[in-house]
A and B are shown apart, each in its own frame.
Chain A
Amino acid sequence: MKTILLILLLAVAPAWAADSLAPKLDIGKGGQCVDDPKFMRTNHMKLIVHQRDETMRKGIRGGKYSLANCVECHASKVNHSVLGSNQNFCQGCHAYAAVKIDCFECHSSKPREFRKASVLAAKDMK
């Protein structure tokens, strides 16, 4: 009985350890996020969805969870985008978790100052 429990414990242990397959992200400028990173990881999708209605339909500007501001901070310093490779901020985790995102079909994946360069990164997310 005890040995069975010990074996089960050891089998489950690797999941508790840091996931070595998890993407190593280029977080761009990084720094202080608008909220706690663990909270953002779990909830960013709900926050973005809620805020888009506030911005679009009610015209409330300057919201905390602005998608454009995420891109401004988190666009890679290498290709100036949140898409393009599995080290890029949005694409990295989303490719790992196999969750398709279509935000960037309409929204820019690049911060304002880098928008003129043409990158076909948006196509990689399809």
Chain B
Amino acid sequence: MAGLAIAPGLTLFDFAQARPAGEPASSAVRWGMLIDTTKCESGCNDCVTACSKENGWPEAKTATDAQWIRKVELKDMRTGRQTSLPMTCQHCAEPPCVEVCPTNASFKRADGIVLVDKHRCIGCRYCMMACPYKARSFVHEPVLDHDSDMPRGQGTVESCTLCVHRVDKGEQPACVEACAKAGHRAILFGDLNDPNSEIYLRIRSVTSTQLRADLGLNPGIAFVGL
């Protein structure tokens, strides 16, 4: 099932399918997101709230609090145009965090999702330094109330996992769902390698940019309207 066709060549949404039990993640798939900043509303924090609820991190109040996703407000100094966008781990194809990790804790899964293996993470925070997007956070406080399906613990580094636990079940990341629920539909998630997916078609029809594309990291997240 590829999706619900609403016009020739256009699918309304993908019926994502859960990967069967016992099957490893495949490099034939590359998960990515296309974020439309023209649809992202300035005061709205729904994606941040949804992520924090889904993954069990308390909403960040201080500089040392964990933050997997944040809203960034941008202003073009030349024109005065203001935009806003959600900023997460960009799930790069060439992740610097993976290159610098001394224990191989930071790794890229076959399907493109960049993760931290907490079994190996020693909390050195080299990946936090290496990431140009400041995507990673260190967990300073003991986690007393594990309230999600996403294990997280003190002394390790964490970041957006592209809701891998949901993606593997065939669902969408929490931020994507929350944005759709709020009516903005600014975040589009899907398989960048699947010619039937909405994201594949859309990324070929609109101008999009990757943040800090000059670094050659080839992020899996692209932005429209910047």
Contacts and interface: CB of A to CB of B under 8 A. Distances in A.
Contacts of B118: 106
Contact of B147 (A58, A61, A106, A115): A115
Interface in B146-175: 146-149, 151-156, 164, 168
Interface class of chain A by DSSP: loop
B123 to A, nearest CB: 12
Interface stretch (A12-20, A86-94, A118-126): A118-126
Interface stretch (B16-24, B40-48, B193-201, B205-213): B16-24
A58 B111 CA distance: 10
Nearest to A52: B119
Interface string A19-44: 00000000000000000000000000
B118 to A, nearest CB: 5
Contacts of B107: 57
A122 B21 contact: no
A106 B148 CA distance: 11
A79 B118 CA distance: 27
A110 B147 CA distance: 9
Number of chain A interface residues as a range: 20 to 34
B4 interface: no
A6 interface: no
A107 interface: yes
Of B107, B109, B146, B152, chain A has the most CB atoms within 10 Å of the CB of: B146
Contacts of B143: 105-106, 122
Nearest to A107: B151
Contacts of A115: 145-148
Nearest to A116: B147
Nearest to A112: B149
Interface in A66-120: 68, 104-110, 112, 115-116, 118-120
A112 to B, nearest CB: 8
Given A57-B109, A58-B110, A120 B144 contact: yes
B142 interface: yes
Given A57-B109, A58-B25, A108 B146 contact: yes
Given A60-B22, A110-B146, A118-B145, 9 more contacts: A58-B25, A58-B110, A61-B21, A106-B153, A106-B156, A107-B151, A108-B146, A116-B145, A120-B144
15 contacts: A54-B24, A58-B25, A58-B109, A60-B23, A61-B21, A61-B22, A61-B168, A62-B21, A63-B22, A105-B143, A106-B118, A106-B146, A116-B147, A119-B144, A123-B144
List 8 tightest A-B contacts by C-beta distance, closest first. Answer: A62-B21, A59-B25, A106-B153, A108-B146, A106-B151, A58-B24, A105-B153, A115-B147
